[in-house]
Amino acid sequence: MINTSRIGLLLALAVLCVTAGQKNGSVPVRGPCGLPLDEGICAAICPRWYYDASVGCCLPFTYGCCGGNDNNFKTRQLCENVCSENNRVCLGTLCLLRPCSTQTCPNFPYAKCFRVCPCKSVWIHNGDDVSSRCDN
């Protein structure tokens, strides 16, 4: 059976994304945000968000809960923070060190660092922002 309310939501999100992308010019595509949608190799159901570079915004998808790629975020907010420059406020552009250049995340050794502003980065592990838990 087709879930018409979910289809309606996806269509509305796509229209908003295309409109936002056209209004703001070129879509930034870097790091995990330029990777294609990858649902993973397992058959479980984990609701996630990915950045669709063709429309310039984050869209929901069903992740199989294993495998896949780094274009996989637990929340729309995290996806937009990492991938969409239109939804981000960057304070301070003078840094002594570039984000991700010398930082580590000992509590999550497999986490990946992504630059979100000239002086700010986030650590992502399994689709979740673990930045605040790197050293705790």
Nearest partner of 56 among 31, 29, 81, 21, judged by Cα: 21
Model pLDDT, residue 87: 57
**Calpha distance 22→26 (Å, rounded):** 8
Domain boundaries, the chain: 1-88, 92-136
pLDDT of residue 20: 45
CATH of 1-88, one of 4.10.410.10, 1.10.510.10, 3.40.50.2000, 2.40.128.20: 4.10.410.10
| pLDDT for res 6 | 52
pLDDT in tens, 14-30: 444 544 444 444 444 56
Indicate the DSSP class of residue 129.
E
- CA pseudo-torsion sign 103, 65, 40, 27: negative
Give residue-wise pLDDT tens across range 96-111: 767 787 678 899 999 9
Q: Which residues of the chain have pLDDT under 50?
A: 7, 9-12, 14-16, 18-28
Q: Check residue 22 and give its pLDDT.
A: 41
pTM, rounded to two decimals: 0.71
pLDDT value of residue 57: 92
pLDDT for residue 135? 77
